[in-house]
Amino acid sequence: MANDNGSYWKGYLGYPSIAFLFKIGLLEFRPNLANLLKGIHWKDINQKFKNDFGKTLTYIETFLDPKYKKSLADYVKIVDEKISALDLGLLGTKTTPPEGY
């Protein structure tokens, strides 16, 4: 069970859980692609676009070198498909997320 806002309030697999799946090797971590996203203030940008993650992604892509956009998009698709194939479910009782930023 994860208690990040996305997992708790919206019911999707949030960033902390995805990071855990990378850490334990269930998802392939590609440092070269991760470095493209390093230093981005995701929460601030998501809030700017009222948590419309499609708009956030479009905004972020404007700052990426065009030669990496396709590689990143292909990788995100692979990760998404692998997460779906894991068919994860909830474990335990939901715990309210911490407050603050």
Distance CA 4, CA 45 (A): 17
Output the DSSP codes for 41-101.
Answer: -HHHHHHHTTT-HHHHHHHHHTTS-HHHHHHHHHHHHHHHHHHHHH-----S---PPPP--
The pLDDT tens digits of the residues spanning 66-97 come to 888 889 889 989 999 999 999 887 666 777 87
- What single-letter amino acid sits at 11? G
Is pLDDT above 80 for 100?
Answer: no
The pLDDT tens digits of the residues spanning 22-66 come to 999 999 999 999 999 999 998 899 999 998 988 998 899 898 888
Q: Is the pTM of this model over 0.85?
A: no
